[in-house]
């Protein structure tokens, strides 16, 4: 049995999960041609991408957890906890209310286009501010809310929403905003994945575990490389290329749906 499609899906998830281009739109299009996968499958390969980012930031995470006695570390960790709790509480409320756009190609395509325009505007405005690396309480609250918004509107991209909100409301430095967004994303995405995984397990699942395992490993490796590259790239480059890509990709999806090539 060929597992090439699992390798491809793992690569797509790994590249797109933390880059600000939305994994949802790319996986939807890929699954249109490679075959739809279960919710369990998508949750597990997403967990591979989260694992990769955890490995990249493991020293920073350990320093924060063990450095509670240091005022700067303690302040940063408190801000992370605040952002996470806002997302967790409001996210559960949103889930219970059933507030979420359908994960279909057309609304995801619009989210890609609108998100791309938002990124260009946000970075232009952030560039006019003085360079600030500090994470304020306002930034922590805004990032927590942005994660909820990204969950409600598939295709928004959690990383894009959180990074650019952080840059707009106080942390204008790209690298500092990205680090905080990714560190908040680690517990948030583990919690969300665990929640969904438990729901799927309760309902009983039937999976090709070999294919799923391959996709998980590929997603982890690919995400590790992609995020390492991104963290280097943003030191000297703006996010404009990602914004333009989102607009073009979203536009392509809208054309494909309008012509009936994909549904």
- Band (17; pLDDT cuts 50, 70, 90): very high
pLDDT band with cut points at 50, 70 and 90 for residue 32: confident
What does the CA dihedral 38, 224, 177, 149 come to, rounded to 10 degrees?
0
Mean pLDDT across 120-130: 91
Is residue 156 pLDDT above 80, yes or no?
A: yes
pLDDT at position 197: 78
Residue ranges of E strands in 152-232: none
Residue 1 has pLDDT above 60, yes or no: no
Q: How far is CA 120 from the centre of its chain?
A: 18
Domain positions in the chain are: 4-258
Taking only Cα atoms into account, the Rg of the chain, rounded to an integer number of angstroms, comes to 18
What percent of the chain has a predicted confidence (pLDDT) above 70?
98
pLDDT given for residue 31 in this prediction: 87
Alpha-carbon gap, residue 119 to 107, rounded angstroms: 18
Backbone angles phi, psi at 191, to 5 degrees: -65, -45
Q: What is the pLDDT of residue 204?
A: 66
- Highest mean pLDDT: which range of 68-72, 81-85, 97-101, 257-261: 81-85
In the predicted structure, residue 154 carries a pLDDT above the cut 90: no
Question: What's the pLDDT score for residue 216?
Answer: 93
């Amino acid at each position: 049995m060929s597992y090439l499609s699992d390798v491809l899906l793992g690569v797509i998830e790994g590249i797109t999960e933390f880059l600000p281009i939305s994994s949802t739109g790319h996986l939807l299009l890929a699954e249109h041609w490679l075959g739809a996968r279960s919710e369990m499958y998508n949750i597990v390969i997403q967990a591979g991408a989260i694992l990769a980012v955890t490995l990249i930031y493991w020293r920073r995470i350990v320093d924060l957890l063990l450095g509670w006695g240091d005022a700067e570390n303690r302040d940063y960790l408190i801000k992370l906890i605040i952002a996470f709790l806002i997302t967790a509480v409001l996210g559960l409320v949103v889930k219970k209310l059933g507030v979420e756009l359908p994960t279909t190609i057309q609304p995801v395509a619009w989210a890609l286009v609108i998100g791309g325009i938002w990124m260009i505007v946000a970075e232009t405005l952030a560039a006019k501010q003085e360079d600030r690396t500090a994470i304020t309480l306002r930034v922590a609250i805004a990032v927590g809310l942005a994660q909820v918004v990204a969950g409600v509107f598939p295709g928004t991209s959690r990383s894009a929403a959180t990074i650019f909100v952080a840059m707009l409301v106080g942390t204008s430095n790209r690298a500092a905003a990205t680090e905080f967004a990714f560190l908040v994303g680690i517990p948030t995405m583990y919690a969300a994945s665990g929640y969904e995984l438990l729901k799927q397990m309760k309902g009983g699942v039937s999976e090709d575990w070999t294919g799923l395992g391959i996709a998980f490993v590929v997603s982890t490796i690919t995400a590790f490389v992609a995020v390492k590259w991104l963290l280097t790239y943003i030191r000297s480059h703006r996010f404009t290329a990602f914004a333009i890509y989102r607009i073009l990709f979203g536009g392509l999806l809208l054309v494909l749906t309008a012509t009936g090539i994909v549904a």
